[in-house]
Amino acid sequence: MEDFRKFTDMSRIEDRNVFGKFAEAMKPCNDTGYFEVENFSFNLNPMSQFFYLSGTNSVPKHFSESKACALMAWYLKGNRDDTEILKAFPEYEHKDMNTAYVKFNSNYGFYLLTQKYLYEACAILANDINSRRASISINNNTTMFSKIGDKLCTNNIMFRIRDGRLNMTVQMRSNDIVRNMVYDIFTFCMFYGIAFNILLRTYPALKVGVYNHTVASMHFHTSYKDAFMEAVMYEQYIGVSKRMAFNFYDERFIQKLERKMKTVSNIQFNMI
């Protein structure tokens, strides 16, 4: 597999102890049955795309490439009415949904691709390399204050170009560190790759920068404590466990991403 380290040296800023950092700070969240760390934040190299895998048969894997691809394919279709996601993520059935309101508000592709907010953010940076306005607001009061419907976990995605590198900040309202975080990281890395590939057309010397992941409530339920501790041990003794074969510097990245995700979906994507 291609060694991406030759493209960018991000080892100085990339956090390799995410689960351990959480373990040191976590505490019970009132009487909810959850462990939580508020305002949890860490930095990643978005092209590393590292994920932790469980090593036993008794605990489900923390990351499934097929589930990640199914989720990204669902995002690429950008359709909030699409129920295809239930095949890979049946836990969506347990969200606060009903027959009168079945839209999946958490299909981020709807905002980034269908409504073209990701392209508009890239256009802002293409016109002004120093801009701080390439900020995509995903969450909204109408959705959050409603008593029904799928609640959004992500508030904002922000892009900046600094020192010749494209940086991204993802600010989330809520994130489950055991069951959901790895999938969120994967898909946000893929959206980063789309933005990076677009901006390469304006800035051919652009380099991969920092992905900051900040969560107001990072948590996991006590029933997943064994799975969490396994992730802590895996991270401590094995470290980075897997890389996805995507190179953001490849001008064909978007086409390759689209082809990869079509392996889990027959729907035609509406990309660029």
**Mean pLDDT across 46-50:** 69
For residue 28, the model assigns a pLDDT of 96
pTM of the model: 0.87
CA-to-CA separations, 65 to 32, 169, 178, 226, 236, in angstroms, rounded: 31, 24, 15, 22, 22
Q: What does 120-152 look like in DSSP terms, one character per residue?
A: HHHHHHHH-TT-S--EEE---HHHHH-SSSPPP
The end-to-end CA distance of the chain, in Å, is 28
**Mean pLDDT across 240-261:** 72
Strands 165-176 and 27-28: unpaired
The residue to which tokens 């006590």 are assigned = 222
Q: Which residues contact 164 (CB under 8 A, 6 or more apart)?
A: 203, 205, 206, 207
AA letter at 1: M
CB contact at 8 A, 24 and 37? no
Query: Nearest CA to 21 among 190, 198, 267, 236?
Result: 236
Percent of the chain with pLDDT over 90: 50
Question: 3-state DSSP call for residue 221?
Answer: strand
pLDDT digits (tens, 9 = 90+) for 187-236: 999 999 999 999 999 999 999 999 999 999 999 999 999 889 888 877 66
For residue 146, the model assigns a pLDDT of 85
For residue 95, the model assigns a pLDDT of 57
Provide the 10 A C-beta neighbour count for residue 234: 17
More confident residue, 218 or 56: 218
In eight-state DSSP terms, residue 35 is E
14 by Cβ neighbours in 10 Å (0-12 / 13-18 / 19+) ranks as: middle
